[in-house]
Amino acid sequence: MEKPWYFIQLSDTHIVADTRQESHGVNTYATLSRALAQISHLNPPPAFVIFTGDLINDDDPQSYRVLKQLTDQLRVPTYFALGNHDLRQPFRQVFLSEQQPDTTPYYYTFDRAQYRFIVLDSLVEGEVGGALDAAQLAWLETTLATAPSRPTIVFVHHPPAPTGIDWMDVYAIANGAAFLEVLARRGQVRRVFFGHVHMALHITAHGIQCTSVPSTCYQFGDLIVTPKVFAGPPGYGVVVLRDEQVSSRVTYF
């Protein structure tokens, strides 16, 4: 058997330009700093760290610079997916060093060991809910087809299927069923990891397992009808891979 290895999923960091400012009674800069300090001391270190969207909270490009200054402290590769609070142009400028950034969706793939990882962009500018455009779904189909026997993990910000929490389900991926059908047609997708919900959730839909993590700052209550926001505890996901087995858990800090 292969030696197990792991990666870290952080989500909904909601960084703002003013590092002293609080959102919902939480200083998001302070909580993310704590998470990153903890992750930096993990031994052995993770293979990579991925942030699954809502990187910033305040429409201020400076917030991405604040976030980059924090994430640059990590000594392992970092990857990013975009969420409804994100802005494609300033993100591309700060994190991808693009001089003339545009608003095209940011999706891509990378490989580690025998795994393929696919990062999607469910951001719909000006909307809280998400969707995957036709071009992205077509790209996903092709990307899966090029490596049919390679175990694959997908990351996206919004929930791909209903969560069972009414007020939250309004903001799932609008064409989530079409998205999951693309994944289900191919047998190699081992898990979808998502954010947005500020809590640990597990959903199985179209035979695909989908897992979320808490936010690194404030959390959402799971009251089915009424939205509720509270201060803690923050957490992140630890995903362990051994051969084709995927196991995930949450670390609260």
What is the CATH superfamily name and number for domain 5-252? Metallo-dependent phosphatases (3.60.21.10)
Q: CA-CA-CA-CA torsion for 181, 135, 12, 211, nearest 10 degrees? A: 20
Percent of the chain whose pLDDT exceeds 70: 100
pLDDT tens sequence across 27-40:
999 999 999 999 99
* 136, 119 contact by CB (below 8 A): no
Domain boundary assignment for the chain? 5-252
Residue 214 and residue 194 in contact, taking contact as beta carbons nearer than 8 Å: no
**pLDDT single digits (tens) 111-147:** 999 999 999 999 999 999 999 999 999 999 999 999 9
Do β-strands 5-10 and 115-119 pair in parallel, antiparallel, or remain unpaired?
unpaired
> What are the tens digits of pLDDT across the range 201-224?
999 999 999 999 999 999 998 777
Are the beta carbons of 253 and 235 closer than 8 angstroms? Answer: yes
pTM: 0.97
pLDDT number for residue 1: 65
Which residues make beta-bridge pairs with 81? 52
Q: Give the pLDDT confidence of 65-89 residue by residue, as tens digits.
A: 999 999 999 999 999 999 999 999 9
Position 195 pLDDT exceeds 70:
yes
